[in-house]
Amino acid sequence: MRRRIVLSALVLTGLLSIAVGAAQQAPPAGRAAGPLGGTPSVDNLQVQKLTDNLYVLGGGGGNTAVFITANGVVLVDTKVSGWGQPIIDKLKTLTPKPVTTIINTHTHFDHVNGNAEFPTTVDIVTSENTKHLMENWQPVYGVQLDSSTPFKTNGGRGLPKRTFKDRMTLGSGADEVDLFFHGPAHTGGDTWVVFKAARVMHAGDAFAGKNAPIMDMNNGGSAVHYAETIAKAAQTPNVDRVITGHSTVMTMADLKQFGEFNGDFVRDAQAAKKAGKTIDQFVAEWSVPAKYTGYTTPAANARGQWKSNAEVVWADK
């Protein structure tokens, strides 16, 4: 059954830090996954340089991409509330240019709440579905969550100004950024952001690294479509590196495998359901197939994400 507990923002932040730390632990090699929450501070943001004008800021929620164009900075995702100003302060160490555009990969609080802390002149772009979800906020399925959102009490500051259905291109030449919606997975509005010249894609939480993703059926996420959505994204041409929502930067081969992994999980869950098993039986019996080396096992997954995802399969979402 759904476990929804209303918590204070403070308790929530601590809880999620623990939960995500356990569930989305980074692979042994590479940069450690940024914790959710923590104290908003410029010193608690970690900078990873991908190219001369493309960076990842870890810490404070989801991974933020920083793309420095001729006219200003394009940001992808703005972390939990309180991290907008630390992001702005950290940018000053990278470029004198102002933020001109924010793109949100999806509706979740740890990727969008910081929007409200940027100047109102900044353009904000999301998929149509993500705008709808941001305006009609629901708690993340399977994650105990505070039911507040800054956009309800601040007059809508930080909500998207421009949207796209399936595809949009921003900028041109060396500054081109391509946005794609390939269907539901983590949420119903997951956007894939391609920095064309850098051959880098930001996947947001649709790509959870070598971990079970959240299939957030409260916000249009889908188990039954997860694998096909990831397979489409993994066919994006001319991309070498993929920024994940909370884990390390990975490859397109990793993304393709992640799609297959979720396809196997969902297929096995559907078979168990058809065989009359309960969700608890399925979760107790299921193990990560051996070919998925390095993937988090159910026993190591403190959040019970396998069970949540099985619930989404059982609901035929």
Per CB under 5 A, residues contacting Zn ion are: 108, 205
CA 134 to chain centre: 14
CB 36 within 8 Å of CB 61: yes
Shortest distance in whole angstroms from residue 186 CB to Zn ion: 6
Q: Compare residues 145 and 198 and give the one whose CB is closer to Zn ion.
A: 145
Q: Compare residues 108 and 210 and give the one whose CB is closer to Zn ion.
A: 108
Contacts of 121 (CB under 8 A, 6+ apart): none
Shortest distance in whole angstroms from residue 201 CB to Zn ion: 17
Shortest distance in whole angstroms from residue 205 CB to Zn ion: 3
Q: Compare residues 196 and 246 and give the one whose CB is closer to Zn ion.
A: 246
Shortest distance in whole angstroms from residue 263 CB to Zn ion: 20
Sheet holding 191-195, edge to edge: 167-170, 177-181, 191-195, 200-204, 241-244, 250-251
Shortest distance in whole angstroms from residue 101 CB to Zn ion: 21
Work out the angle at residue 213's Cα, subtended by the Cα atoms of residues 209 and 216, and round it to the nearest 5 degrees. 150
Shortest distance in whole angstroms from residue 265 CB to Zn ion: 18
Q: Compare residues 108 and 202 and give the one whose CB is closer to Zn ion.
A: 108
Q: Compare residues 40 and 139 and give the one whose CB is closer to Zn ion.
A: 139
CA–CA separation, 11 and 201 (whole Å): 33
Shortest distance in whole angstroms from residue 245 CB to Zn ion: 6
Tokens representing 12? Answer: 């929530």
How many other C-beta atoms are found inside a 10 Å radius of the C-beta of residue 45? 21
Work out the angle at residue 49's Cα, subtended by the Cα atoms of residues 46 and 51, and round it to the nearest 5 degrees. 160
**C-alpha distances in Å from residue 119, one per residue of 20, 61, 127, 247:** 30, 20, 21, 29
Shortest distance in whole angstroms from residue 83 CB to Zn ion: 15
